[in-house]
Amino acid sequence: MATDEVINDRPPDGPGAPHANGGTPWPRPDGPATTTSTEPDEPVATTGAGPGGGGAAWPYDVVVVGSVNMDLVVRVDRRPRPGETVLGSDLATYPGGKGANQAVAAARLGGRVSMLGRVGDDAYGGLLREALERDEVDLRHLRPTAAPTGVAMISVGPEGDNSIIVSPGANARLSEQDVAESGDLLRSAPVVSLQLETPLPTVLAAARAARRVVFNLSPPAPVPDELLARCDPLVVNEHEAAMVLGVAARPHVQAEALLALGPRSVVITLGADGALVADASGITAIPSPRVEVVDTTGAGDAFTGALAWRLARGDSVAAAAAFAVRVGAATVRAAGAQSSFPTLEEVEGP
């Protein structure tokens, strides 16, 4: 039987350790809440200071509405054909989920991030809460649920490519009522980041409440025109773009076609080739640094989390995408999703 290894994503600095942008956002368990911010006073979230409670108001750069999963990862020399069994590596267990990944990516870079989602009242749910707390993501809106925590079963090939099957579990219980109860939080943030590992009606409700929507249309599925019209930007990779459009095409053609569907801007991620940004001003190609690929799991989520954070700071879509490409490139150099996400210092270098 394979060994089940739980991967810790961050050093044990914990709540109360200095945040990357200079404040101390969460109270230590053994002391009073203290909050120091180097940012302007708005937008301001509802009261409460994060995982440890507290009463101070705290401004969030990004609110992520989405999935929280445990990733079960096995490396294989090749994937089995139907009816075939192949041997793989020891089982590694990583915190994941597209929503949680984007939240951690933005927080690790220095963003103030709140997470709206659901986890099960099981062992995986507890571990995932701990992982998010280590990166100082606000969890006041991460609700426990009488359902299994979401799980992603991931096989990683010899070139670092992956195939994923997701069992949504508690993520499928995230509701429009949950969004309504967190409406002040969503309206307070410069950017709300969304994906499709939670129910579509919930995603649409969150988009309606948001000031600016970054929407990663993944996994790809039909979505209403109203949701597309609220995207600034819509974020997809080449394969997702082809599924949305119903036809494969060159990335520039895909970008133009997606923009014609109604979003204010479009970002297509291209892996080692970087990204394309399309908006009313035209199409901009963003090159990627060349790196040795170990594991691509979570790279798209790291890109989207970084993009959302930089947009919240006031960057243009093209400038935010240029930064996010570097974050994605740094991510693929290590195994796992959240465990591979870089800090701001690691992205910017010496």
How do residues 39-87 score in pLDDT, each as one tens digit?
A: 333 333 333 333 333 333 448 999 999 999 999 999 999 999 999 999 9
Which pLDDT does position 348 carry in this prediction?
A: 82
Residues in the annotated binding site for substrate: 69-71, 97-101, 197, 301
User: Where do runs of H (alpha helix) occur along 246-281?
Assistant: 251-259
pLDDT-based confidence at 18, cuts 50/70/90?
A: very low
Element (H, E) at 167: strand 162-167
User: What's the rounded mean pLDDT across residues 323-339?
Assistant: 90
Least confident interval from 154-158, 253-257, 279-283, 313-317 = 154-158
Q: What is the DSSP string of 184-252?
A: HHHHHSSEEEE-SSS-HHHHHHHHHH-SSEEEE--S-----HHHHHTEEEEEEEHHHHHHHHTS---HH
User: What's the rounded mean pLDDT across residues 283-289?
Assistant: 95
Residue 313, pLDDT above cutoff 60? yes
Do the beta carbons of residue 132 and residue 67 sit within 8 Å? no
Residue 145, pLDDT above cutoff 80? yes
User: Please, which residues have CB within 8 angstroms of residue 248's CB and are 6 or more apart in sequence?
Assistant: 242
CB atoms within 10 A of CB 313: 17
Helix count (H) and strand count (E) of the chain? 11, 14
Which pLDDT does position 334 carry in this prediction?
A: 87
Percent of the chain with pLDDT over 90: 73
Catalytic (active-site) positions = 301
Which pLDDT does position 349 carry in this prediction?
A: 64
Residue 33, pLDDT above cutoff 70? no
Q: Is 195 exposed, middle or buried (0-12, 13-18, 19+ CB in 10 A)?
A: buried
Closest CA to 192 of 209, 170, 172, 174: 209
Residue 29, pLDDT above cutoff 70? no
Handedness of CA 242, 83, 153, 299 (dihedral sign): negative
Do the beta carbons of residue 264 and residue 290 sit within 8 Å? no
Do the beta carbons of residue 107 and residue 131 sit within 8 Å? no
Q: What is the DSSP string of 73-129?
A: EEEBSSPPPTT----B--EEEEEE-HHHHHHHHHHHTT--EEEEEEEESSHHHHHHH
Residues in the annotated binding site for K(+): 295, 297, 331, 334, 336, 340
* Mean pLDDT rounded to a whole number for the chain: 85
Which pLDDT does position 57 carry in this prediction?
A: 43
User: What's the rounded mean pLDDT across residues 287-292?
Assistant: 92
Percent of the chain with pLDDT over 70: 83
Which pLDDT does position 217 carry in this prediction?
A: 97
Which pLDDT does position 297 carry in this prediction?
A: 80
Calpha distance 124→126 (Å, rounded): 5
Element (H, E) at 348: helix 344-348
Least confident interval from 31-40, 92-101, 287-296 = 31-40
Residue 37, pLDDT above cutoff 70? no
Q: Write out the two tokens for 143.
A: 């609700």
Handedness of CA 145, 119, 307, 216 (dihedral sign): negative
CATH numbers and ranges of domains, the chain: 59-67+98-149+170-337 (3.40.1190.20)
How do residues 2-12 score in pLDDT, each as one tens digit?
A: 334 444 443 33
Which pLDDT does position 163 carry in this prediction?
A: 87
Residue 159, pLDDT above cutoff 50? yes
pLDDT-based confidence at 36, cuts 50/70/90?
A: very low
How do residues 81-128 score in pLDDT, each as one tens digit?
A: 999 999 999 999 989 999 999 999 999 999 999 999 999 999 999 999
Q: Buried b vs exposed e over 74-102: b needs ≥16 C-beta within 10 Å? A: bbeeeeeeeeeeeebeeebbbbbbbbbbb
Residue 300, pLDDT above cutoff 50? yes
Which pLDDT does position 339 carry in this prediction?
A: 87
Say which DSSP state 172 is in.
Answer: G
Residue 32, pLDDT above cutoff 90? no
User: What's the rounded mean pLDDT across residues 186-191?
Assistant: 96
User: Please, which residues have CB within 8 angstroms of residue 182's CB and are 6 or more apart in sequence?
Assistant: 116, 141
How do residues 250-265 score in pLDDT, each as one tens digit?
A: 999 999 999 999 999 9
In Å, how far are 11, 212, 255, 276, 294 from 262, measured between CA atoms? 43, 15, 12, 17, 36
Dihedral of the CA atoms 237, 206, 55, 103 (nearest 10)? -10
